[in-house]
Structure 1
Amino acid sequence: MTSTIDQHTAADAVTRVHEAGGAAKVAAKQLAVLTRADKDAALHALADALLTATGRIVAANDSDLLRGRESGMPEGLQDRLRLTPDRVSGIAEALRQLAGLPDPIGDVVRGSTLANGLQLRQVRVPMGVIGMVYEARPNVTVDAAGLGLKSGNAMILRGGSAAADTNRVIVDVLRNALQTQGIPADAVQLLDGGHEDVDALITARGLIDLVIPRGSDRLIQAVVQGATVPVIETGVGNCHVYVDAAADVEQAVAIVLNSKTHRPSVCNAAESLLVHRDIADTVLPQLYDALTSAQVALHTDGRASEIAGRSSTPYAPATEADFAAEYLDLEMSVAVVDDLDAAIAHIDRYGSGHTEVIVTGDRAAARAFVAQVDAAVVTVNASSRFTDGGEFGFGAEIGISTQKLHARGPMGLQELTSTKWVVEGDGQTR
C-alpha cells in the first residue's frame, strides 16, 4: 500500500511540474515570435555567461565528481560527468556555432496553389514545451537549452542526481543570461527532485508537448513505458564494426581503434567487432595488438579466441550478455563470422539500431550492408564516432534517435520542430 508520505511526495511533484509547465508555455509563446537575430544574440550571450562562470561551474562539477567517486561511480561515467575549463569552453563554442546555423522556424517544407486559388504552405514551427530526462552529462544541459532557444522551444530539464550541483549552477547562469537579453528565464527550467518529478513530467499531457530521454537503457525504457506524453526514444549504442574479407587491413585497424578508444564512454563508441573468417588470421592479430595496447579488454567467441591464444592476447570467452552489452568502457566483444550475411544476422540479433560500420573495398558488399542493416546510421569505411550532430554539421545535438517515427539519427534543430499548414484564400468557400 502506498504511504501517505509517498502520496504527498508525488502530489508535490505534480504541482512542481504543472507550475513549471505553465510557465514554460508562456515562455514558449514569446520564443515563437523571436527573430533569428534575437535568438542568435541570446546564444552568444549564453556562451559569454558560461565562460565568465567557468570557475563556478568547475567547482560545482568537482563536488559532483567527489560524490561520484565516493559512491563507486565507474570511471567511464566519471568521464561523462567531468567538466574542465577546456570542456566548458568547448560547450560555449558549440552555442556560438549553433548561432551560425540557419533558423528552421518558418521554413516552407512544401507548398502549392490549388485550382480554386487557395495557396497552401506547410511551414516549420516549434514543438512548444520539451521535457528532457537525462543522466550524468552536464553538457546536455547546455546543448538542450541552446537547441531549444534556436528552435523556439521552452525546455524543462531533469538531469541525473550525479550532476545535480553542476546542473544547478549551469541553469542559473543560463537563466540570468536569458533575462539580460529580454527573454523569459522560464524558457529554461530545471527539475531537481526525485523520480516523482520524472513521473509527473512524462505524464503532463497538455503541458508538455514532447519528452526526450537520454541515458541508460533502463532510464529510456522507464520513460518510454511510463509516458503519456509523446516520446522520442534515444537508444543505447551497441555499435558494431564489421571487417569484411575485402577490407584494407591498415584502414581496418585504424577505424576499429578509433571507434573503440577515442572516447569509450559515449553511445557512438564501438562495442562489438566482427571479422570475416577469410581475413581473420591476417587482421585479428594486428587488431588484438592495437586494442590490448590501448588496454581494451576482449570478450571473444571460439574462433576469435583461437587466434587470440596463438598470439598470447589476453581475452575472456564471450557470453550472450557480452555480445548484447553496451560497455561504455574499454571492453569489446569479438566474433569471427562466415560471411557478410552472418555479420548482418549477428547485428540484427544484438545491435541496438544506433550505428553500424562496415570496412570493405568491395562496393557490392558495402551496398548490401547499407541496404540490409537496420540502424539509424550505417557507415562505410569510417569510424562510428562520426555519428554526432556536430560532426554531421547540425551544431549541438539533443540526442541520437534510434526509433523510426518523426526523427532518426542525430537530432538537431529541424528534428525539434513540427509543422503547420497555412492556407490563404480570397473568399473561397467549399
Structure 2
Amino acid sequence: MTTEENTAAGRGARPVPYDCDVLVVGGGIVGLSTAYALTRAAPGTRVTVLEKEPGTARHQTGRNSGVIHSGIYYRPGSLKARFAVEGAAEMVAFCAEHGVPHELTGKLIVATERAELPRLHALAQRGREHGIPVRELGPAQIGAYEPHVRGLAALHVGTTGVCDFGAVADTLSRLARDAGAVVRCGAEVTAIDRRPGRGVAVRTADGTVLRARALVNCAGLHCDRIARLAGDDPGMRIVPFRGEYHELAPDRAFLVRGLVYPVPDPAFPFLGVHLTRGVDGTVHLGPNAVPALAREGYGWGIVRPRELAGTVGYAGSLRMARRHWRYGAGELRRSLSRRAFTAAVRRLLPEVEPGDLRPAAAGVRAQAVLPDGSLADDFLLREAPHTVHVLNAPSPAATASLPIGREIAGRVLAMVGGSAPRH
C-alpha cells in the first residue's frame, strides 16, 4: 500500500480494488514505450494501455517520414537534445535486435543561399557539442553523397537513418504484452476521476470503468483534452498542423540516395521540405505544415466544427497567427499548388519537375501552443496527483521514444512506490 492508502485505511476506508497499477492513455510509440519501460523497470507492475483506435500507432507514429534523427538541431540542455542523442543510437540497436527494417544512411543538411551559411556553421558547432559526427562539405563534395543535389555548402551527419516506426511500435506492444501488460484498442477515454487515497478511475466509451494507482497521459493529438478530463489545466492547447507529403515517381527515385534537408529556420519548430528515401526505397518529399481543420484532419475535406472552433477561439492560436502569418501563407501556397511545392523541392534537387511528384499520405503534428502564441519547442512533461501528462511530444519523439519511455516510467513508478506494488 502507498502512504495515502494506509492513511485512508487508518480512517476506516475500504481498500481500493485496483484493476491495474498504471493506466497509459494512448497507444502511439510513446505510450507503448512507456508500457514497455514499466514492465522492464518493475516486473510485476500491472500496466494497461488504452487506445481509442482499432489498432495502435494509427496517427503520428504511423504517419511520419520514418527518420531516426541525430539530435543536431536541438538546444543543448533541452529534453529534445538529450533524448534524441540517446535515442538515435538506442533505436538503431533496438531495430537490429528485433529485426525491424532500418538503415543508417547519414544525412545532408544543405545551404542553398548565402544567408544560411552562418546557421549551417552554427549547426556544425552544435553537433560537435552533442558529440555527433559531422563533416562540413563544399559544393563539389556534396555530389559525392548526393550527385543530383545542389548547394553552396552542407553538413554530413553520420548518425541519422530511417526505420519503420510502425513496426517499432508493434514490437514494443508485443514485448510489453509478453511481460504481462494489457493493450486495449477501441477503448476511448471519456471520463477520469481522481480522489486522494483512491488513485484514478477511468471510464471508456463502452461504459467500462478501470481503476489504477496512477495514470499516464500519452494521448498525443488529444493530450490537452485528457488533461482537462483529469481536472488539470494543461497550460497549453494542441493546435494540429497537417504535414503534406509527395513521393517521387518510381522512375525518378534514383535522384535521391538518402536524406537531404534544408537549413532550418530557428524561429519555427518545423524542418522545412526535405527529401527522404525510406526503408522501402520510396522517396518522400515534404512535409509542408498547414493548419488542420480537425485534430485528425488528414485532408482539407476533413472538418470537425467543434474542434476547429476550439482552435480558432483559443487566444494562443490568434497570437500565433498574427506573429507567423507570412510563414503560414507560404505553407498554404505550397499546399494548394504543386508547382509551388515543386519549387521548394527544386532548391535542393533542381532536376525535379511537377510531373515527377505523386501525392502521398499526410500526417498531423500535435503542436502545443502556449497562451502567448509561442510554439512549445521542447517536450512538456507535467505531473499532477497520481498522473503524468505528456503535453508536447513532437519530432524527434519517435526517435527518442525509448529514453522518453524510461523517463515517464521513472516518474510514475515514484508515484506508486518506486517498484512493483504488492497485490
More strand by share: 2
More helix by share: 1
TM-score range, shorter chain: under 0.3
What TM-score, normalized by structure 1, do the two folds share?
Answer: 0.27
Instruction: Report the structure number with the largest CA radius of gyration.
Output: 1
What TM-score, normalized by structure 2, do the two folds share?
Answer: 0.27
**Relative contact order higher in (CA < 8 Å, ≥ 6 apart):** 2
